[in-house]
């Protein structure tokens, strides 16, 4: 449909309310899959607007806005914070704390900017509710928990999200990032990397440090694994394809004169191509197992920590969307970008019902900051502080444009 741009204009009252909402959400982050207060807050807001709501996957919230006959379109915003001590110095900075699943007490911050996503989602729900005569159809809002640990989309789908909500013909989502505020970046095709994380337990045999002949040293063995795993990318992946294998932690032993019974490391793999992913994961398993055999050690344990699916922007839907975003934000504000190495579980929501989806990024930082000499804080930094405007307004306009371009015409 052609977009009635008057609907995209935020009044001063809208803007003030949106900023207040943002500051509140920023100051009250919760850890992944523990977003209980956040979920209750969102559901109350959506109920207040008159949307049909239900909970899904624990702390997931779905809001359905029905407005007569017409296409069904989905919009997703994620809701979780991170275990980071905020150091932005903002007067609305978070001082919240939380408890990780292993019992560790941690400070919590909306260090990935999911507070901007919720603020945009709720504001869009309000604008669409106030302008029912400008469009027709149904919009399904998905406020998804647990993005940071790739748990939320999976939990919502497993909890029957698509048995309860009408199935959209397309799902949109967006993420704030350290680009120029007022602009959006979008990729055609693959948008983000797949990411797989494992915990590997290397089993050995304990002995006194002076008696290596009685041991199977899991530290020496683990070190060989770590070194050999580096060859997967350099020696097994096609030079024109890309992959990353990072071993982020390695722990073993308690004392210099004891060879420990086991050691443990965690690794993270990033790939863009499902075939490369299969190849890399298969090679990792082969090497981990074979190195243990070479040391005469028992089979190591491999435990999956998380698995982020592919995030793929349907090319035709993306081309249409870029045109619409150009009309609304200005052609200069819409940048076609290469895929990023970050990962997302957004793709699962659309994959579960076989419909296209598009995911883009909206900028957080003013040009002056980006042009300066100082390094610019990005997502997951304790200093990540998106400029409130025009960041939020851009997010709202982009989301509104995407949704309105796919629903039906109004009265
Ligand atoms: Zn993040
Ligand atoms: Zn994020």
Q: Is the pLDDT of residue 163 over 70?
A: yes
SS3 assignment, position 172 = strand
Residue 381's pLDDT is 97
Q: Report the 10 Å Cβ neighbour count for 328.
A: 20
Q: How far, in Å, CA of 268 to CA of 247, rounded?
A: 6
* Distance between first and last Cα of the chain: 12
pLDDT tens for each residue of 369-403: 999 999 999 999 999 999 999 999 999 999 999 99
Which residues are bridge partners to 153 per DSSP?
A: none
Residue 341's pLDDT is 87
How many Å lie between the centroid of ligand 1 and the Cα of residue 148?
5
For residue 298, give Cα distances in angstroms to 201, 211, 295. Answer: 10, 20, 9
Residue 7's pLDDT is 87
SS3 assignment, position 132 = helix
How many Å lie between the centroid of ligand 2 and the Cα of residue 344?
7
Packing angle, helices 114-130 and 391-404, rounded to 10: 50
Q: Is the pLDDT of residue 193 over 90?
A: yes
Residues above pLDDT 70, as percent of the chain: 99
Q: Is the pLDDT of residue 327 over 90?
A: yes
Q: Is the pLDDT of residue 245 over 70?
A: yes
Question: What burial class does residue 6 get, using C-beta atoms within 10 Å of its C-beta: 0-12 exposed, 13-18 middle, 19+ buried?
Answer: exposed
SS3 assignment, position 409 = strand
How many Å lie between the centroid of ligand 1 and the Cα of residue 102?
20
Q: Give the residue-averaged pLDDT of 66-77.
A: 97
Query: Are 108 and 98 contacting, i.e. CB atoms less than 8 angstroms apart?
Result: yes
Q: Give the residue-averaged pLDDT of 273-291.
A: 97
Q: How confident is the model at residue 6 (pLDDT cuts 50, 70, 90)?
A: confident
Q: Is the pLDDT of residue 410 over 80?
A: no
Q: How far, in Å, CA of 311 to CA of 342, rounded?
A: 10
How many Å lie between the centroid of ligand 1 and the Cα of residue 55?
23
Residues above pLDDT 90, as percent of the chain: 96
How many Å lie between the centroid of ligand 2 and the Cα of residue 108?
14
Q: Is the pLDDT of residue 185 over 70?
A: yes
Q: Is the pLDDT of residue 102 over 90?
A: yes
Q: How far, in Å, CA of 90 to CA of 88, rounded?
A: 5
Query: Are 325 and 290 contacting, i.e. CB atoms less than 8 angstroms apart?
Result: no
pLDDT tens for each residue of 11-64: 999 999 999 999 999 999 999 999 999 999 999 999 999 999 999 999 999 999
Q: At 203, phi and psi to the nearest 5?
A: -90, 135
Residue 411's pLDDT is 64
Q: How confident is the model at residue 10 (pLDDT cuts 50, 70, 90)?
A: very high
Q: Give the residue-averaged pLDDT of 226-247.
A: 97
Residue 46's pLDDT is 98
SS3 assignment, position 152 = helix
Region class of 73: left (phi > 0), else alpha (psi between -120 and 50), else beta: beta
Q: Is 112 annotated as a binding residue?
A: yes
Q: Catalogue all structural domains in the chain, each as residue range(s) with its CATH number.
A: 5-192+310-407 (3.40.630.10), 194-308 (3.30.70.360)
Please name which ligand lies nearest the alpha carbon of 82. 1
Q: At 202, phi and psi to the nearest 5?
A: -95, 115
How many Å lie between the centroid of ligand 2 and the Cα of residue 114?
6
How many Å lie between the centroid of ligand 2 and the Cα of residue 175?
7
How many Å lie between the centroid of ligand 1 and the Cα of residue 379?
6
Q: How far, in Å, CA of 393 to CA of 252, rounded?
A: 50
Please name which ligand lies nearest the alpha carbon of 380. 1
Residue 1's pLDDT is 59
Q: How far, in Å, CA of 342 to CA of 380, rounded?
A: 12
For ligand 2, a single-atom ion, the residues with CB < 5 A are 112
Q: How far, in Å, CA of 167 to CA of 280, rounded?
A: 34
Please name which ligand lies nearest the alpha carbon of 79. 2
Strands (E), 294-379: 301-308, 311-313, 334-336, 357-365
Which two tokens mark 186?
């979008």
Q: Mind giving me the DSSP string for 174-218?
A: EEEEEEEBT-EEE-SEEEE-EEEEEEEEEE-B-EETT-GGG-B-H
Q: Is 238 annotated as a binding residue?
A: no
Average pLDDT, the chain: 97
Residue 129's pLDDT is 97
């Amino acid at each position: 449909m052609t977009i009635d741009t008057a609907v995209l204009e935020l009044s001063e009252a809208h803007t003030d309310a949106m900023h207040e909402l943002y500051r509140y959400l920023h100051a009250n982050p919760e850890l992944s899959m523990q977003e209980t207060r956040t979920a209750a807050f969102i559901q109350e807001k959506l109920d207040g607007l008159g949307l049909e709501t239900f909970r899904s996957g624990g702390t997931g919230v779905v809001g359905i806005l029905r407005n007569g006959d017409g296409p069904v379109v989905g919009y997703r915003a994620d809701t979780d914070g991170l275990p980071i001590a905020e150091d932005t110095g903002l007067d609305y900075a978070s001082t919240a704390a939380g408890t990780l699943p292993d019992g560790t007490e941690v400070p919590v911050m909306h260090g990935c900017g999911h507070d901007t996503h919720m603020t945009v989602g709720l504001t869009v729900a309000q604008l669409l509710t106030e302008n029912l005569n400008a469009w027709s159809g149904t919009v399904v809002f998905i406020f998804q928990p647990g993005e940071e640990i790739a748990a939320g989309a999976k939990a919502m789908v497993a909890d029957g999200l698509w048995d309860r909500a009408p199935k959209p013909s397309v799902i949109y989502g967006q993420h704030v990032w350290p680009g120029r505020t007022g602009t959006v970046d979008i990729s055609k095709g693959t948008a983000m990397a797949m990411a797989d994380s494992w915990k590997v337990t290397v089993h050995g045999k304990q002995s006194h440090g002076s008696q290596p002949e009685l041991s199977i040293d899991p530290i020496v063995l683990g070190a060989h694994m770590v070194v050999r795993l580096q060859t997967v990318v350099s020696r097994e992946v096609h030079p024109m394809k890309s992959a990353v294998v990072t071993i982020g932690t390695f722990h073993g032993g308690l004392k210099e004169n004891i060879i420990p019974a086991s050691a443990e490391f965690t690794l993270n793999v990033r790939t863009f191509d499902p075939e490369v992913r299969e190849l890399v994961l298969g090679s990792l398993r082969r090497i981990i197992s074979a190195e243990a055999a070479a040391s005469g050690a028992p089979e190591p344990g491999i435990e999956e920590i998380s698995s982020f699916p592919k995030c793929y922007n349907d090319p035709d839907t993306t081309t249409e969307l870029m045109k619409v975003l150009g009309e609304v934000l200005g052609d200069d504000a819409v940048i076609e970008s290469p895929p990023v190495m970050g990962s997302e579980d957004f793709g699962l929501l659309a994959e579960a019902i076989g419909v296209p989806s598009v995911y883009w990024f909206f900028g957080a930082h003013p040009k002056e900051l980006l042009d300066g000499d100082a390094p610019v804080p990005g997502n997951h930094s304790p200093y990540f502080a998106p400029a409130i405007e025009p960041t939020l307004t851009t997010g709202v306009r982009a989301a509104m444009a995407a949704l309105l371009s796919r629903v039906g015409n109004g009265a």
